[in-house]
Amino acid sequence: MSDIAANITLLKHQIPSSVKLVAVSKTKTVSDILKAYNAGQRYFGENRVQELLNKKDLLPRDIEWHLIGHLQSNKIKFIVPFIKMIQSVDSYKLLATINSEASKISRVVDCLLQIHIATEETKFGFSMNEFSEMSESQEYMDMKFVKICGVMGMATFTSNTDQVRKEFSYLADCFNSLKNRYFPEKSHFKEISMGMSGDYEIALKEGSTIVRIGSLIFGERNKIQ
Ligand SMILES: *Cc1c(COP(=O)(O)O)cnc(C)c1O
């Protein structure tokens, strides 16, 4: 068994079967992704559109692709035909553009709202206020080609586990208040995507439903992404 296959098997033992494991394959080769695929992994996450497009055509069609990185409006049209979920919807403008591109091909795209939970300034995301304003606009109510399935967040990169726990707990609170206020009858609004290689165990305790794991599966990345 390859290391990659072994890593996946190990992780699957640690993650409840109700939680989706998205293997983050950014910077990794098609051959590494195939090793994970052959170990049964079907959900993969990439953060750059061009890299995703380059790899996807060389890989099996039944892979479910998740976009997890900041997305530029002009790239949306390239992924809308096949992407399973855009986890990194970090502005109203982006959501509106996804809706308009998806409407052209009549495909409904699953989305997560990326919420800013870390103390670092660089991480993209919605604030709760922004979402409240957006949800009251008519344009938002008319969006038929985006399905908001939940929230996504990245904790601060720190060894302070208490801080990480608080940030994840805040994300779970955001999820619950959005659910109660805006999606009470929407059974598809159910996802909390949180937890990476260094903090997924904390995320699981705080109620994560999707974990996004790269280096624990594929090994360290040599480029900083
Ligand atoms: C790179 C990345 C991950 C995975 O990071 P690891 O620490 O390698 O598990 C998860 N989520 C996002 C948004 C990422 O960019």
How many alpha carbons lie under 13 Å from residue 18 in its C-beta half-sphere?
A: 7
Distance 73 CA to ligand 1 centre (A): 22
Examine residue 97 and state whether it is found in any structural domain, yes or no.
yes
Q: Which two tokens stand for residue 7?
A: 């890593």
Average pLDDT, the chain: 94
Range of the domain at 200: 3-217
Instruction: Provide the domain count of the chain.
Output: 1
Asked if the structure places residue 181 within a domain, the reply is yes
- Helices first, then strands: H and E counts in the chain: 10, 8
**Alpha helices, DSSP H, located in the chain:** 3-14, 30-38, 49-56, 76-79, 92-104, 128-135, 138-141, 161-182, 200-205, 215-218
Classify residue 26: in a domain, yes or no. yes
Residues 109 and 97: beta-carbon distance below 8 Å: no
Instruction: Please check whether residue 35 is in contact with residue 5, taking contact to mean a CB–CB distance below 8 angstroms.
Output: yes
Region 183-205: what's the mean pLDDT?
97
Percent of the chain with pLDDT over 90: 83
71 close to ligand 1 (CB < 6 Angstrom): no
What is the model's pLDDT at position 171? 96
Q: What is the pLDDT of residue 99?
A: 98
CA 24 to ligand 1 center in whole angstroms: 6
Q: What is the pLDDT of residues 88-117, one digit of tens each?
A: 999 999 999 999 999 999 999 999 999 989
Residue 1's pLDDT band (cuts 50, 70, 90): low
Residue 223's pLDDT is 58
Q: Which two tokens stand for residue 220?
A: 């360290």
The H or E element containing residue 46 is strand 43-46
pLDDT band (50, 70, 90) for residue 170: very high
Contact (CB, 8 A) for 188 and 147: yes
Q: Best mutation site among 212, 217, 220 for ligand 1, i.e. most ligand atoms within 8 A of its Cβ?
A: 212
Q: How many CB atoms lie within 10 A of CB 6?
A: 12
What is the structure's pLDDT at 83? 98
Which residues touch 53 (CB under 8 Å, ≥6 apart)? 78, 79
Q: Is residue 206 part of a domain?
A: yes
Q: How far is the CA of 126 from the centre of ligand 1 (A)?
A: 19
What is the whole-number distance in angstroms between the Cα of residue 157 and the centre of ligand 1?
Answer: 11
CATH of the domain at 172: 3.20.20.10
For the CA of 47, the nearest atom of ligand 1: 15
CA dist 200 and 131 (Å) reads 26
The predicted model gives 167-175 an average pLDDT of 96
pLDDT for position 221: 82
The rounded Å distance from CA 196 to ligand 1 centre is 6
- Percentage of the chain beyond pLDDT 70 is 96
CB of residue 118 inside a 6 A radius of ligand 1: no
The answer to the question of residue 224 being in a domain is no
207 lines ligand 1 (CB under 6 A): no
The reply to whether ligand 1 has any atom less than 6 angstroms from the CB of 154 is yes
pLDDT (tens digit per residue) in 26-72: 999 999 999 999 999 999 999 999 999 999 999 999 999 999 999 99
Residue 105 domain-assigned (yes or no): yes
The atom number, within ligand 1, closest to the CA of 200 reads 9
Is there a domain that residue 129 lies in? yes
Rounded distance between C-alpha atoms, residue 4 and residue 110, angstroms: 28
Judged by average pLDDT, the poorest of 18-27, 73-82, 113-122, 145-154 is 113-122
Question: Looking at residue 122, what is its pLDDT?
Answer: 61
192 φ, ψ to 5°?
Answer: -125, 105
Average pLDDT on 178-204 reads: 96
Q: Identify the sign of the CA torsion 174, 177, 180, 182.
A: negative
Q: Please identify which residue in the block is written with the tokens 């399935």.
A: 149
Mean per-residue pLDDT for 157-174? Answer: 96
Residue nearest to atom 12 of ligand 1 (CA): 68
Does residue 225 lie within any of the structural domains?
A: no
For ligand 1, atom 6: residue with the closest CA: 214
